[in-house]
């Protein structure tokens, strides 16, 4: 074997040993390019490592997205702003700069079911993951169950730390089910711990005036709102459910049956009096 061949196969092995998978895959191409364009050693190394770094950034971002446990993936490009004119595009664009995360501020998305609250929350969360932030997505009901289990197992501090840690915590569907006193208390403790330290996005179908009912206790609701709203942006979405529009388009629904029974199943969107 010639010295050149020996070096080449050792290089392959070393790239593999070092876990530089992308470099290994693109090496031949970059070498050919380098010879053709007669570039310097530095330029060659730069082109190779640029690709390696891009691949690693992608992998880490995917890892953070998996860790966040989004129920599904949604991006801002998939959001039809024309359909929801009550949303100020500029405000969403501002939120996408993620300054609210750096400042430990909160975003509260309010509105009836189907208007895109969860979609926007996921899109913001995924953007944060791509920009290197640690995110956790949790449904409010699951959060309360998880904290309650922690409390019962004398491991509440550990559970609290888990939800305190991410730079962005997304609590989805707060208010769909009313909380008992203990549930409300646990949520209050978590929000108080993250106050001015870690950003929170909350989605809710209940207006602030109804939070007393959601938390079964006006005093706790006021204490939660006090901390939550101190540094926050509220996006109030007033509009039609996107899901219902899709169904209407598919001919499964007409205006007179809207919000009642669709194919023998309740739409689940009735109680809010969707129009």
Select from ligand ADP, Mg ion, none the partner in contact with residue 116, using the beta carbon and a kind-dependent cut-off of 5 to 8 Å. Answer: ligand ADP
**Cα within 13 Å of Cα(156), Cβ side:** 14
Decide: is 175 part of the binding site for ligand ADP (CB under 6 A). no
Residue in 190, 184, 188, 177 with CA at minimum distance from that of residue 217: 184
Decide: is 92 part of the binding site for ligand ADP (CB under 6 A). no
**38-53: string of b/e by CB count within 10 Å (b at 16+)?**
eeeeeebeebbeebbe
Considering only residues 213 to 272 of the shown chain, the ones binding ligand ADP according to CB under 6 A are: 242-243
Q: Which is nearer to ligand ADP, 51 or 203 (by Cβ)?
A: 203
CB of 182 to ligand ADP, least distance (A): 26
Q: How far apart are CA 187 and CA 185, in angstroms?
A: 5
CA torsion, points 263, 264, 268, 274, in degrees to nearest 10? 60
Helix (H, G, I), strand (E, B) or coil at 78: helix
Q: How far apart are CA 73 and CA 71, in angstroms?
A: 7
CB of 230 to ligand ADP, least distance (A): 25
Sign of CA dihedral 200, 100, 111, 225: positive
Select from Mg ion, ligand ADP, none the partner in contact with residue 242, using the beta carbon and a kind-dependent cut-off of 5 to 8 Å. Answer: ligand ADP
Q: Which is nearer to ligand ADP, 79 or 163 (by Cβ)?
A: 79
Find the angle CA(160)-CA(57)-CA(136) to the nearest 5 degrees: 20
Decide: is 195 part of the binding site for ligand ADP (CB under 6 A). no
Of residues 118, 127, 133, 136, which one binds ligand ADP by CB under 6 A? 118
The region of 45-53, 111-119, 161-169, 223-231 touching ligand ADP under the rule CB under 6 A is 111-119
Q: List the end-to-end C-alpha distance of the chain, in Å, as a whole number.
A: 78
Eight-class DSSP state of 83: G
Q: How far apart are CA 204 and CA 218, in angstroms?
A: 17
Decide: is 204 part of the binding site for ligand ADP (CB under 6 A). no
For strands 199-204 and 168-174, give the pairing.
parallel
CB of 24 to ligand ADP, least distance (A): 38
The region of 23-31, 107-115, 159-167, 247-255 touching ligand ADP under the rule CB under 6 A is 107-115
CB of 137 to ligand ADP, least distance (A): 12
CB of 65 to ligand ADP, least distance (A): 17
The region of 71-79, 212-220, 224-232, 250-258 touching ligand ADP under the rule CB under 6 A is 71-79
Residues making contact with ligand ADP (CB under 6 A): 74, 78-80, 83-84, 111, 113-119, 203, 242-243
Residues making contact with Mg ion (CB under 5 A): 117-118
């Amino acid at each position: 074997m010639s010295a050149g061949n020996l070096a080449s196969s050792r290089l392959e092995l070393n790239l593999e040993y070092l876990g530089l998978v992308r470099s290994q895959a693109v090496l031949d191409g970059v070498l050919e390019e380098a010879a053709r364009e007669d570039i310097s050693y530095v330029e060659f190394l730069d082109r190779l490592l640029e690709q390696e770094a891009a691949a690693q950034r992608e992998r880490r971002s995917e890892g953070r997205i998996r860790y966040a446990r989004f129920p599904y993936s949604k991006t801002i490009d998939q959001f039809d702003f024309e359909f929801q004119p009550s949303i100020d595009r500029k405000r969403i664009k501002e939120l996408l700069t993620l300054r609210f995360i750096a400042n430990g501020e909160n975003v509260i998305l309010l509105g009836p079911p189907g208007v895109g609250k969860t979609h926007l929350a996921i899109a913001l969360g995924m953007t944060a993951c791509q920009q290197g932030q640690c995110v956790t997505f949790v449904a409010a009901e699951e959060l309360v169950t998880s904290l309650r289990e922690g409390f019962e197992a004398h491991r509440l501090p550990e559970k609290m730390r888990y939800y305190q840690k991410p730079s962005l915590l997304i609590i989805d569907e707060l208010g769909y089910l009313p909380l008992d006193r203990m549930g409300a208390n646990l949520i209050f403790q978590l929000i108080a711990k993250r106050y001015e330290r870690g950003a929170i996005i909350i989605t809710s179908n209940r207006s602030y005036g109804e939070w007393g009912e959601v938390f079964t206790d006006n005093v706790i609701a006021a204490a939660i709102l006090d901390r939550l709203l101190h540094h926050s942006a509220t996006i109030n979405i007033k509009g039609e459910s996107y899901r219902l529009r899709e169904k209407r388009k598919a001919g499964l629904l007409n205006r007179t049956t809207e919000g009642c029974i669709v194919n023998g199943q309740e739409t689940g969107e009735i109680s809010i009096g969707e129009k």
